[in-house]
Structure 1
Amino acid sequence: MDTVKTSLVDEIVSLRHQFHQYPELSNQEFATTEKIKQILTDWNIPIVDTELDTGLLAEIRGNEAGATIALRADIDALPVTEQTNLPYKSKNDGVMHACGHDIHFSSLLGAAYLLNQQKDSLKGTVRLLFQPAEEAGHGGDQVLNKHVLNGVQAIAGFHNNPTMPVGQIALDQGPLMAGCYRFVVKIQGNGTHGAQPQKGTDPIVTQAAIISQLQTIVSRNNDPFHAVVVSVTKVNAGKTWNVIPETAAFEGTARTFYEEDTELVKRRFFEIVNNTAQAFGQKAEIDWTTGALPIDNDPEITQVVASGLSQPVVKPVLTMTAEDFATFEAKIPGTFAFIGSNGAKDAADLHDPRYVGSDKTIPVAINYFVETAHSLLNHFNNLEK
């Protein structure tokens, strides 16, 4: 791997610590956006006008016209109270970079600096997307709806992974992270006295039957070689001990890697909920929403990126967690990697208040972005010859 100069790494690590101390939630990343903008402006890297409320797009143009590719990093934090002993721990109560996005966009800043120094040797344009609201699940939609990535031929990004050794890169074509779907179900029954259940229709009994039957989607309907999760995570019904309520409700999530599995899970979910409710003489309302599509790395783009990296890559372990980088991959050929950020046996995972991502991840991530930009530009420019 090409060595990123120590002076630059030190500067980016310092910036990372500053960002970590002042995290901001999805769609509230105003100070983060302004600081990134100021840094890029100080480095004479042009900021592109967009209609984004938070987040920003910068652009590095080579001396010759050519392909246009994008590098993406997310900038938002989580509503988590930090429980680490880091000297740069969060100073914003109840908000933490518990997913390591501060590593992501600090590394993209480092790559921006280097690519700007190398622009005389670039043929084409590198767009640098500092994306808002990944955790909220719709930041990618904001970017696409406001046409920020129009004309981009390929896009690349990464997520730090604290379960992997620091600096290890995992990359492969095809599925990587699951699609995330949220469901909310309300069951309408008829309330009555708890001592006289025959005078009503009990939505709690109906709810229990539905939740039990939903588990058969994975155990009896889905291909056992395709990983699928259906989890009920929240249940509400009743207000007191001696009254059967009129309504009951539950919420949860489904996770899949393949479109056919998503269609199967959704179809069976609706059938089970509606038919079971009907069998108990009740009605059900279902709200099914997409939080994020599955990450599905483009084979050609992934091969180009992997072959252009100066360090070997390993095969990633699939994860049921989701990432809205998939929103871009649904429209633009793209690839997404994992980069190890801890690797200790007792390392806290993402979204954990004890999560710690190592600063040593940063030079590897900077290099990943820089080498990926060169590889993708060269690939598309050669295709045009």
Structure 2
Amino acid sequence: MRISKEEIMDAAKKLEPRLIAFRRDLHENPELSLEETETAAKVAAFLRSIGLSPKLEVGGHGVIADVVGSTPGPTIALRADMDALPIMEETGLPFASNRPGIMHACGHDAHTAIVLGAASILVERKERLAGTVRLLFQGAEEINAGAKAMIRDGALDGVDEIYGLHNLPTLAVGMAATRKGPLMGSVDRIELTLEGRGAHGAIPDQGADPIVAAAAVISGLQTIVSREVSPFSPVVVTIGSIHAGQANNVIPHRAEMTGTVRAFDPAVRRQLPDRLRRIAVRIAEAHRCEAELRYIEQVPVLVSEDGCLAHAQRTIDWLLGAERHAEAAPTLAGEDFSVYLESVPGCFFWLGSGPSDRAEDAYGLHHPKFDIQEEALAVGSAALASIALLRGQSNHSLLL
């Protein structure tokens, strides 16, 4: 029996009230990375309610479940992230976070509801599903730890391909965006310690000031972007924290900084640790200080596999219409979905979640006033369910 896009969208729309209620519950009760116990329990309860047998505590608080089709075929994974951010919510919504300083400001509550919606659609159509769909509900995405932990606990065992999405409030609801080649940047962390010599603030010549050295190092690191890497290979080096001293009239002996490094080319990324270290150490030496730079790799560049990308694009065009399918702009924001793509082929795409008339003016990801258009839940559920249903069929033979 063939599948029509009207059937899938109708099924998703029927689920919409339940998905909205589930998303709002998560939004009101957010949990930070590595603390997603309540969220995981709610996900597991939903999965049981539709006849699945979830496995909990995968990669920490992750949850997995399989929807087994009626005929042989590939094992396709669909992934959602579940964690919130340490942000004070300012939306004023009636279901705003009741936990001060914690907020679903990136829409992971919506992603979780979307994959649950896709699961519901698939369970109702198991007789037309070829192969298995592995549902992955992952924690700790915001700290770039969840995907690695899920893989270590076997979440990808037997998986042939993986698909995922992220809402985008600056893209109108009802739209999706894909990109061939790099979509999102690598994410690495740097920790830099400068050791100088403390002194009285009135007698600076008797010390070696690590604060002055730190200021010079921060400026010097930007020359990597402007003078050491091709302008056609985007790189960002950002120092996000600096801590030194306690008194206004004392030169401290130590300054500590942390930062993030982003790149769009794996080859360029591999060159960055040595370049950062050279600049930091030599500038520090010029200021009579010593520098130690620790470079911590977190997640790689996110690149969808060509075959999986083509399948997702065909499915989006079929479901939403080619006019609702845009080419995604590249971004140096990161996503640990890229870690899964190092192990199995797959595709990641943007799902529109902004106002249809002024999406470009919406509050962006990680903003205290971030919100989504909840119609995106049904659209996302339909898209992921369609990708899984149609992947097992050669040439989309189930389509009407």
Q: Give your verdict on TM over 0.5.
A: yes
Report the Cα offset of residue 93 of structure 1.
2.3
CA shift in 2, pair 1:86/1:258, >3 Å: same
The reply to whether residue 198 of structure 1 matches residue 213 of structure 2 is no
Equivalent runs, 1:146-225 vs 2, <5 Å: 146-225=153-232
1:128 to 131, 135, 145: 135
Q: Which moved more, 1:1-10 or 1:241-250?
A: 1-10
1:367 to 382, 385, 396: 382
Tell me how far apart the structure 1 counterparts of residues 34 and 204 of structure 2 sit (CA, whole Å). 47
Q: Structure 1: which 5+ runs fail to align?
A: none
Kindly indicate whether the alpha-carbon contact (under 8 Å) linking 1:48 and 1:59 is maintained by their aligned counterparts in 2.
no
Q: 1:325 corresponds to which residue? A: 337
3-state SS in 1 of match to 2:393: helix
- TM-score, reference length from structure 1: 0.94
Q: 1:358 corresponds to which residue? A: 373
CA shift in 2, pair 1:184/1:381, >3 Å: same
Q: 1:315 corresponds to which residue? A: 327
How many pairs were matched up?
Answer: 382
CA shift in 2, pair 1:362/1:107, >3 Å: same
Between the two proteins, what is the percent identity of the paired residues? 36
Equivalent runs, 1:1-385 vs 2, <5 Å: 1-2=5-6, 3-5=9-11, 6-48=13-55, 51-309=58-316, 310=318, 311=320, 312=322, 313-343=325-355, 344=358, 345-378=360-393
Kindly indicate whether the alpha-carbon contact (under 8 Å) linking 1:59 and 1:126 is maintained by their aligned counterparts in 2.
yes
Kindly indicate whether the alpha-carbon contact (under 8 Å) linking 2:266 and 2:300 is maintained by their aligned counterparts in 1.
no
Tell me how far apart the structure 2 counterparts of residues 321 and 351 of structure 1 sit (CA, whole Å). 11
Kindly indicate whether the alpha-carbon contact (under 8 Å) linking 2:60 and 2:149 is maintained by their aligned counterparts in 1.
no
- TM-score, reference length from structure 2: 0.91
Q: Structure 2: which 5+ runs fail to align?
A: none
User: How large is the RMSD of aligned CA atoms in angstroms?
Assistant: 1.9
Kindly indicate whether the alpha-carbon contact (under 8 Å) linking 2:59 and 2:151 is maintained by their aligned counterparts in 1.
no
Tell me how far apart the structure 1 counterparts of residues 194 and 109 of structure 2 sit (CA, whole Å). 42
Kindly indicate whether the alpha-carbon contact (under 8 Å) linking 2:304 and 2:348 is maintained by their aligned counterparts in 1.
yes
Report the Cα offset of residue 381 of structure 1.
12
Which runs of at least 4 in structure 1 moved beyond 4 Å after TM superposition?
379-382
1:117-170 alpha-carbon deviations (Å, 9 max, x no partner): 111111211000011111121000110111121111110000000011112100
1:168-223 alpha-carbon deviations (Å, 9 max, x no partner): 10012211111111111111111122333332222222222211111110111111
Kindly indicate whether the alpha-carbon contact (under 8 Å) linking 2:198 and 2:207 is maintained by their aligned counterparts in 1.
yes
Q: Which moved more, 1:342-351 or 1:122-131?
A: 342-351
1:13-59 alpha-carbon deviations (Å, 9 max, x no partner): 22222221111111111111111111111111222466443120010
